Amino acid sequence: MMYTFTALKIIVAFVGLLALYYIHSKLSEKVVNNFQVSEPWVAANELVLLTGGSGGIGRQIMEDLSYNGVRVVILDVKQPPFELPKNVTFYQTDITSSTSLSETATFIRKEHGDPTIIINNAGVFHHGSILEKSEKDLRQTFDVNTVSHFLIMKEFLPDLISKNRGHVVTIASIASFVAVGEMVDYCCSKASALAFHEGLRQELKFWYNAPNVRTSIVHPNWVMTPLIKGFTQHQGEFGQKLMTPQVVSDAVLEHIFKRQSGQIVLPKHLGLAGSIRGFPIWLQEPIRSFLSNIVRRVSYVRSTDKRVTL
């Protein structure tokens, strides 16, 4: 009898936790979407502006959007090393230059119209400690990973605001929440991307009265792309599970097709990563130390392996 009563309490507690999680999820969804109901998705009405679409996560997003009948414009400094689908156009553009962006924007509007969805995906990463990083690499990291978001918004956001319609997607990182040795500039730039996303939402609501412009941010953990080649070449020391770009693309497309704002942490079991800053220091520091030691081990092996090219 006592066993049955204990089991019942466990079941009730579990159901209660599920109910709380459901309420939490739905309330968060309503709040970030400003309690607005989105219009139905029609692929033919959309034009996606995607930065960094010539490889990695960006390429997968481009291919999936194209497959679903969405027109895509890629902005990248590198030519795609593959044939583009018919509904995808590439413009070689320096997204860290307002002049380059302005010139490209003129072509885009003339040939395709105004973008309705903007995906800030382009990103760079340079290995090295704070003292080892060159000024050139530091500036490139922040210019591409953070400053470009502002420049692109200055060029394309006014049209979204005037129509009170559209979507801005920011590809950030788990690094938005935790700083790791030898990745300090990258972590800073991704924390900045999170602040950009949060601030953009506030300005859309209160400064520009455009609550129907959706904003989403994605925080992937390690993804199998050329960006982390220096780590994956030494998987023995690295030892971290890798996601495919497909996982990230699926999450992005789900929010775009649902016209839904949100914050997405991948993989999903790391959903509490955003809470790390609220942990007591004695819990935060072991997390940072664990990740930093992984990077340090890989860095040591990489420095002694003359075969590695980055």
pLDDT in tens, 4-61: 656 565 666 556 655 554 555 555 555 556 666 567 889 999 999 999 999 999 999 9
Query: Could you tell me if residue 103 is inside a domain?
Result: yes
Catalytic site includes residue 190: yes
Q: Which of 78, 86, 110, 186 is catalytic?
A: 186
pTM of this structure: 0.86
Reading the block at residue 72, the tokens are 């895509």
Contacts of residue 53, Cβ cutoff 8 Å, sequence gap at least 6: 59, 61, 62, 72, 74, 75, 76, 80, 90, 121
Evaluate whether residue 73 is within a structural domain.
yes
Residue 185 lies in a domain: yes
Of 91, 190, 208, 241, the catalytic one is: 190
307 band by pLDDT with thresholds 50, 70 and 90: very low
Q: Is 3 a catalytic residue?
A: no
* Domain CATH code at residue 60: 3.40.50.720
Domain count, the chain: 1
* More confident site: 293 or 188: 188
CB 149 within 8 A of CB 196: yes
Alpha-carbon distance of 141 to 138, in angstroms, equals: 5
Q: What is the pLDDT of residue 306?
A: 43
* pLDDT tens for each residue of 247-285: 999 999 999 999 999 999 999 998 888 888 889 999 999
CA angle, 253 as apex, 22 and 91 as ends, to 5°? 150
Q: What are phi and psi of 89, to 5 degrees?
A: -125, 140
Is residue 6 one of the residues assigned to a domain? no
Kindly state whether residue 300 falls inside one of the protein's structural domains: no
Asked if residue 13 belongs to a domain, the reply is no
Over 60: is that where the pLDDT of 234 sits? Answer: no
Does a structural domain hold residue 304?
Answer: no
- Name the range with the highest mean pLDDT among 20-34, 38-52, 159-173, 232-246: 159-173
pLDDT for the residue 35: 60
Is 125 within the bounds of a domain? yes
Which pLDDT tens digit goes with each residue over 108-158?
Answer: 999 999 999 999 999 999 989 999 999 999 999 999 999 999 999 999 999
Residues, the chain = 310
- Cα distance between residue 250 and residue 61, in whole Å: 8
Structural domain of 214: 39-227+240-276
Q: How many other C-beta atoms lie within 10 A of the C-beta of residue 271?
A: 13
